[in-house]
Structure 1
Amino acid sequence: MTVLVFGTSGQVGIELAALENVRSLSRAQADLSDPEACAQAIRAADCTAVINAAAYTAVDKAEEDEATAIVVNADAPAAMARAAAEKGVPFVHISTDYVFGGAGDAPFRPSDSTGPLGAYGRTKLAGEDAVRSAGGVHAILRTSWVFSAHGNNFVKTMLRLAESRDHLTVVGDQHGGPTPARAIAEACHAIAHQLADAPEKSGTYHFSGAPDTTWAGFARAVFEEAGEAVSVEDIPTSAYPTPAARPLNSRMDCSATEAAFGIARPDWRSDLAQVIAQLRS
């Protein structure tokens, strides 16, 4: 089974490229700003499944450039999903906790009402709708707080700040599950394989690391694991304004993913240790 993957430079895309029977397409080979080129790449490929791990993820920049974000996050996945449906192969699409508004403190289920707070969430939600409308075998996998040894992410930012700071203020009222990019890649790969044999499992699923924490709690775990003597002071979201609003509640109920595919929530703490060791080596 050959899996065609869109996205080679992102955290999940890098991890997917390391898995067996994966063919990754770079931006030069399939630019998401050209949806038809993406669809043509699928039509021309000898593949048995497609995973879209590429996206416009600049959350704040999307507030000023929603037109580009909608092409990359909605129009391109729409074209991919239609091409995959025409080809008769499963399509796995990575989405985000930002499709929710973040109210309350209960974990969001896949069936819960959405309500994105900003442009990034709106464009990702539009992408989800387009994938469903394509009518093919598919899985939309919503995830959150991605980290790895690659690219830009919270763990790497905290370690960089620890080089010159011994005290940091970090948002302590946003709750969610940090999720290892490696685990997301493995989940997408496994889901693509299972959908080929069980197309009735098509649908929307959640996948995030456990246990849930806050950004401040995550920061403390990073410094403890790295052996850095940095104290963390919790601050409210209101004390750290950003162009795009962040959901306060990004907890996600992942039970449907485990029931359908046998994939449990990963313990982000063990992956954090591996990531830090990899960065330090």
Structure 2
Amino acid sequence: MPINLDAARRFLYDDARLLERHLAAVLFDDAPTEPVVTALRAYRNADGGWGHALEPDLRGPDSQVSAAMSALGILEQIDAHDDPMVTATADWLQSVSVSDGSVPHVLPTASAYPAAPWMQPSDEGFLTYRTAAHLWCLGVDHPWLTSATEWCWNQIETRELAGYEAVFALNFIDAVPESVRAEHAVERFRPSLRADGSIPIPGGVDGERVTALKLSPKPGTPSRALFADDIIEANLDALEREQLDDGGWDFDFLHWSPGQVVEWRGIVTLENLDTLRAHGRIAESTEILGKNSAPLRGK
């Protein structure tokens, strides 16, 4: 069943943050990127890091690794390779990294503010994978990325990874420019896959799992070797069916705060639209909303 693009557009107007609205305009309406950068700067701190619930599961203003990861992901989406904030973020990551080159899951300052139950101060380093992946895609040459990359490969090649650590590790494998090594590394994840291509999330809500499209969101990447075409197509069909009556998509992890729910729904709705487009389920042209509909940027 095709998705309702007009309803998706209205959902973004109803519930998405200004940041996601501007990003949607760039991705789908060929809008300029400067409004995205301007909106993103509001989440930046004087120390070069990012906070202020840019990653909705940490509500405090202080700089956190998950927020830096989110910022780099947005800068990657708009191809902001030369933006000085990219290198400044890498500098901040180096300032908070631990001795093995990884970065902490949550810094201690988060304990003073509302946070998801799984966002407690910890030196667990699994955010390092996706953070390094964004920097590789942004073309960064930075000392922290060198040490972080070494840490990522060591974890992937010596440990059995599960849950979201497996997701983020596959993000890294898809981004790092070592094709032969990546080709061998993805096979380490095959035994963890269920028949439908998903993996369960230990300790998550009932039935929480990560789908094949979350494990391998982009065609033509090394991780795609793990999944037969029919699994990807079935996942795309399911993703289309999961659009709700209000036009948006929901997420399957814990809804613990009204603000968190609203913000995550805007993020995942835009992510799902972009995934569907990347797989040919939405036209690449700016007419995706229909000739009689206003563009996502509302002009």
Is this a same-fold pair by TM over 0.5?
Answer: no
Relative to its length, the structure with more strand (as a share) is 1
Relative to its length, the structure with more helix (as a share) is 2
Normalised by the size of structure 2, how large is the TM-score?
0.27
Normalised by the size of structure 1, how large is the TM-score?
0.28
